[in-house]
Structure 1
Amino acid sequence: MQIENFIYCLEAVTDVDEVKTTEVVKILEDIALTQNIASIYKTCDTIEGLEESLSFLLHDDHHFKDYELIYLVIPGEANNFLINGYYYSIEEIAELFEGKMKGKVIHFSNRKVLDLSDEESQYFLDVTGARAISGYGYPSENTSSAFTIDRVFFSLFYENDDLAEVVENMFQKHYKLCKFLNFRLYY
């Protein structure tokens, strides 16, 4: 069985030196087995670690072009990201990814709210080169998007190249969950 669908996942953790299997790792393993979507998983505990992981992806991973989805599991508030006790704005993250995400879809888990204005989303897309950015308008401590709707999004994404149709299918098949977590896509 040859896997042709790939996800690159970066998760912010408290300490990268602490060996711990997070729920995200378990879910990515299950997605590989049940949905035929492989992934590379990296952790970071500082903004420099995030930058280093991104650099690895761009320069050392010879399959970078195969990763259409970049999955970021980073806590935060509204359009700020919390890494090692420091908040970084969506604009700072965009500048970190500057020109490096050409054609990629950057998907944020529901560990933080993604609520961009048209101006903010366009800035992020223009600076990063990303094809789209997606996430949720409602964070939930009790309902991890990784267990539920992220899996659906990843699967539908690799079945259909039209993002508008992907979102339409998600809402048709999982309306209550999409509304509950307030799924959104900017492109």
Structure 2
Amino acid sequence: MEEEKFIYCLEAVSDVDENIQTAVQTSLEELAMQFGIASIHKTCDTIEGFEESLGALVYDDHHFKDYEIIYLVMPGQHNSICLHDYFYSLEEIAELFEGKLKGKIIHFANLKILDLTSEEAQFFLDVTGAKAISGYGLALPAKVKSTALDKVFFSLYQEEEDVIEVVELMHQKWYTACKALDFRLYYTA
């Protein structure tokens, strides 16, 4: 029997003390109901909260190996994320988690454009040990979210181990959505 692949979601919010159900939480609940894919959802509003949340997963969670997808829902630009009006480069994040994300897929929602050069992507993958980094080349208005296509990606990856095959299936079945959001995948060969 194939092992389940869980999702660890870290979402940027303006204030972690506000206990509000986000659209991402709702989407993850739907994913659990429709496809039986379990997830953990955490929020952060600072780089310290980001580091603490991912650190708790990496260092404290005995089931860390089961979380193959780390889903980051946070604004940003090409090679950075934005938390509390500060930008942090993916290089800085890679160095924070040097060698700690072995075999993981880091997936960004379309709040952040993922537009990396091959060198930037390779640096992130080499330093963290991640299997792949994925996301979208277009950040669209707030009302157009990638959650539907994110759910497709997660559910297909649950069934198929080869991430390249998953992306090919996505483009075959959901070509228009993949093209409209400019789905991207950077991976280690």
TM-score, normalised by the number of residues in structure 1: 0.96
Structure 2 residue aligned with 1:36: 36
Question: What's the CA shift string for 1:121-174, capped at 9, x where partnerless?
Answer: 00000010000000000011231111x100000011111111111111000000
Distance across 1 between alignment mates of 2:97 and 2:173: 33
For 2:72, the equivalent position in structure 1 comes to: 72
Partner of 2:7: 7
Does the CA-based 8 Å contact 1:11-1:43 persist in structure 2?
Answer: yes
Q: Deviations over 1:92-147 (max 9, x none)?
A: 1111221110000000000010011110000000010000000000011231111x
Query: CA RMSD for the aligned pairs?
Result: 1.0
Alpha-carbon separation, structure 2, partners of 1:96 and 1:21: 29
Letter in 2 for 1:127: V
Over the matched positions of the two proteins, sequence identity in percent amounts to 63
The alignment partner of 1:94 has SS state of: helix
Write the letter of the residue equivalent to 2:146.
Answer: S
For residues 163 and 4 of structure 1, do their structure 2 counterparts lie closer, same or farther at Cα, with a shift above 3 Å needed? closer
CA contact (8 A) 1:5 1:36 kept: no
Q: Which runs of 4+ in 1 moved over 4 A?
A: none
Paired position in structure 2 for 1:129 = 129
Contact 1:76 1:87 in 2 (8 A): yes
* 5+ long unaligned stretches in structure 1: none
1:59 Cα deviation after fit:
2.0
Question: 1: distance between equivalents of 2:60 and 2:107?
Answer: 22
Alignment of 1:1-187 (within 5 A): 4-141=4-141, 142-146=143-147, 148-187=148-187
Runs of at least 5 residues in structure 2 that lack an aligned partner in the other structure: none
Alpha-carbon shift at residue 5 of structure 1 (Å): 2.9
Q: CA deviation at 1:62?
A: 1.4
Question: What SS does structure 2 have at the residue aligned with 1:81?
Answer: strand
Letter of the aligned partner of 1:105 in structure 2? I
Q: Contact (CA 8 Å) 2:108, 2:135: kept in 1 or not? A: yes
- Which residue type is aligned with residue 51 of structure 2? E
- Aligned residues between the structures: 184
Query: CA contact under 8 A between 2:108 and 2:136: conserved in structure 1?
Result: yes
CA offsets, 1:11-48, max 9 Å, x none?
01100001101000011011011111000111110000
SS in 2 for 1:135: strand
